[in-house]
């Protein structure tokens, strides 16, 4: 018996109607205009596969009611920018502490924050020194939601958030977050983040 997946109430579904959603996410690098490999906007011919969880969706072609033959599309899983894990297809380049964590987030180990997920797609590396605000994009008393900003602006690298790992001589007096709470209340001084106590 043939499946009528693209035929509902004896009507052929339109082109692009969803007929299948893969229940297993992967790090496909295929979200249009964001992680897809052929992405002239991001000037990266290799794309950004291998980092964030994406869901694969198959669509109807508008021609056949019994086949899911349309274009495949890809979306961020649950519309969230979340790092993948090594058990998922294509998720190969993620720092172990950042797996299954929000991209550009602050992972914990045994209830203690251990760093900041950074690098490509906010998943590639774990920064264990301070996070530095290069261009005064943060406010000293407010949480800076790098994950949401990256998702909204389709940012693919930490540098494009104007954030960097570690105080250096070139970041002297720049705002920093040394305790990984997302609040840039400190300043880089002599290679370290001096944050107010308390």
Main-chain dihedrals φ then ψ at residue 75, nearest 5 degrees: -135, 155
How far out from the chain centre does Cα 176 lie? 22
Going along the chain, which residue ranges are E strands? 7-8, 11-12, 18-21, 54-59, 72-76, 108-109, 112-113, 116-118, 125-127, 131-133, 163-165, 175-177, 186-189, 192-194
Length of the chain: 198
pTM score, whole prediction: 0.86
Q: Residue 10's pLDDT is what?
A: 86
**The pLDDT value given to residue 198:** 58
C-beta separation of 26 from 56 below 8 A? yes
Non-local (6+) Cβ contacts of 82 within 8 A are 52, 53, 76, 100, 101, 102, 103
First to last CA, the chain: 69
d(CA 115, CA 126): 6
At a CB cut-off of 8 Å and minimum separation 6, what does 122 contact?
51, 52, 81, 83, 98, 102, 103, 104, 105, 146, 147, 150, 158
pLDDT value of position 4: 64
Contacts of 110 (CB under 8 A, 6+ apart): none
The ranges of the chain with pLDDT < 50 are 1-2, 39, 43
């Amino acid at each position: 018996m043939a499946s009528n997946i693209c035929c509902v109430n004896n009507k052929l579904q339109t082109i692009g109607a969803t007929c299948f959603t893969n229940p297993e996410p992967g790090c496909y690098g295929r979200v249009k205009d964001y992680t897809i490999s052929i992405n002239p906007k991001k000037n990266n011919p290799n794309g950004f596969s291998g980092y964030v969880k994406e869901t694969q969706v198959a669509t109807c072609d508008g021609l056949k009611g019994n086949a899911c033959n349309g274009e495949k599309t890809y979306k961020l899983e649950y519309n969230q920018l979340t790092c993948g894990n090594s058990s998922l297809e294509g998720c190969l380049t993620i720092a172990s502490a950042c797996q299954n964590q929000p991209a550009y987030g602050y992972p914990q180990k045994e209830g203690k924050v251990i760093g900041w997920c950074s690098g490509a797609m906010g998943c590639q590396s774990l920064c264990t020194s301070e996070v530095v605000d290069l261009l005064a994009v943060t406010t000293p008393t407010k949480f800076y939601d790098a994950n949401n900003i990256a998702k909204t602006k389709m940012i693919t690298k930490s540098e494009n958030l104007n954030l960097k790992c570690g105080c250096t001589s070139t970041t002297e007096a720049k705002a920093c977050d040394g305790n990984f709470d997302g609040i840039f209340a400190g300043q880089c001084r002599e290679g370290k983040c001096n944050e107010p106590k308390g």
